[in-house]
Amino acid sequence: MTELIKPVRFGILIGLLGLIFGIGWAFYLVLGHDKIHKTLEERAVKSEEAQSLIQLIEPATAHAHSGESHDEQMMDMPGMEEHQHGAMEGTKKSMDEHDSPVMEMAHERLTRGHIHSMGLGLVTIVISLILAFTSAPEKIKNIAPVLTGLGGIIYPFAWIVMGYRTPSFGPGPAEESVTMIAGPGIALVLLGIFTAGVFLLKDVFYKR
């Protein structure tokens, strides 16, 4: 049994690390909920402030040729005081809204990091054990489980990054920003599943 497991031991180890990380992240999501939410709120506020600043600067830039100072232009713009007050109120409101759709989505994506870490950690262990009992060459037994495990770590990490970026980037842009992270992660996991499937089917149908 030890000799069978030895070639895939690193894959099993990485899978166990994925399970441990998933459990630890779940505890952090519960125990550190307030801290996480505060961080997400701060990112949302900074994003709103940046957007408000852009909206204020653009009209002033268009009238820069008039010779007025930037401050005078800003104060002379119709409804400027109301706009500034509205921006401040919007910022304050965002701090008070615990269940806004964007914040809820951010928390959901962070939770997905835990779910995928646990699930893919288990998948890595299963793939490692399947390969251990097949006729796959030792090199494949060494490499395939490790690559599967790495994919199982990269993909959940992409969800966590996406969750933290959602309040500041927005749901769509946050998802697009991690495509280069999530894509290779999925590819590595699928490669491991495909490899295990090929050698399992080969042993089942061609050894009869």
Domains and CATH numbers, the chain: 6-41+98-203 (1.20.120)
Q: What is the DSSP letter of 77?
A: S
Which residues, including other chains, have CB under 8 Å from residue 34's CB and lie 6 or more apart? Answer: none
Q: Report the pLDDT value the prediction gives residue 45, as an integer from 0 to 100.
A: 75
Instruction: Show pLDDT as tens, one digit a residue, over the chain (208 residues).
Output: 678 899 999 999 999 999 999 999 999 999 998 999 888 888 777 766 556 556 566 554 544 444 444 444 444 444 444 444 444 444 444 444 455 888 899 999 999 999 999 999 999 999 999 999 999 999 999 999 999 999 999 999 999 999 999 988 888 999 999 999 999 999 999 999 999 999 999 998 876 5
Q: At what angle do helices 179-206 and 138-169 cross, to 10 degrees?
A: 150
Instruction: Fill in the amino acid letter for 25.
Output: W
Q: Report the pLDDT value the prediction gives residue 161, as an integer from 0 to 100.
A: 96
The continuous run of DSSP H or E covering 18 comes out as: helix 9-31
pTM, 2 dp: 0.75
How many angstroms from the chain centroid is the CA of residue 77?
Answer: 41
Q: Report the pLDDT value the prediction gives residue 208, as an integer from 0 to 100.
A: 55
Q: Determine the Cα–Cα distance for residues 149 and 10; give it in Å rounded to an integer.
A: 9
